[in-house]
Amino acid sequence: MNLADFRKEYSDRGLSQEEMNSDPIAQFSAWFAEAIKLGIYEPNAMTLATVDGAGAPWQRTILLKNFDARGFTFFSNYTSRKAMHLKENSRASLLFPWITLERQIIIQGVVEKITTVESQQYFNSRPRESQIGAWVSNQSEIIPSREFLMRKLNEIRNQFGDGEITLPPFWGGYRVVPHSVEFWQGGQARLHDRFLYSLENNVWNVNRLSP
């Protein structure tokens, strides 16, 4: 197998600065709506990159659950590996790899916890089994077996019975507050179009980057 043979020529769709919104959140919203319309599988799937205390980078795929002018929200166990990283270093990066659209978006920013009220609202919207799952998993901890996990699942089910599943005190949301957002559109001859939004003095500046 020669990986050099896995070469694909990109379309000539192109991307000009004139068609870009001056607000990166509005531009993200437009691309996100197009990804949904064109049937991209799980368009809200994104790679979250964090850095541990030794400076080593870590990545994982998670789901975007909300975005607005304040930033991009996801949910996690507050004792997970990613949570420990963010406690030590609140800077993080997000990547949306919409490969079939020949697009990607990179977001860099500072991560903050959202309010308990916001976490409760989202938790209430989750399916019951997902609510129970939040109680079962001590995310990222070593466990002896799958059977151990299933026993704990049954214990939690019995604990709550048919009653309301309450919000775990160790579970909730994070918001990535962006300071830069890059939009990438594949181009022919590897001359891709890249536009970087940078926040300076509360104003978004847009610059074209070399591919």
Beta-bridged to residue 92, according to DSSP, are 109
Residue 128 CB contacts under 8 Å (≥ 6 apart), including other chains: 165
12 near 187, Cβ under 8 Å? yes
Write down the residue that tokens 């049954």 correspond to.
154
In the chain, DSSP assigns E strands to 45-51, 57-63, 66-68, 71-77, 91-98, 103-113, 171-185, 193-200, 203-209
Cβ atoms within 10 Å, residue 11: 12
Q: Output the CA–CA distances (angstroms, integers) from residue 78 to 104, 123, 135, 172, in the order listed.
A: 28, 14, 12, 7
**Cβ atoms < 10 Å from Cβ of 165:** 20
Contact 200, 194 (CB under 8 A): no
Tell me how far apart the alpha carbons of residues 208 and 210 are, in angstroms, rounded to a whole number. Answer: 7
- The verdict on whether 190 is a catalytic residue reads yes
Tell me which of 13, 151, 190, 208 is the catalytic residue: 190
| Residues with a known catalytic role | 190
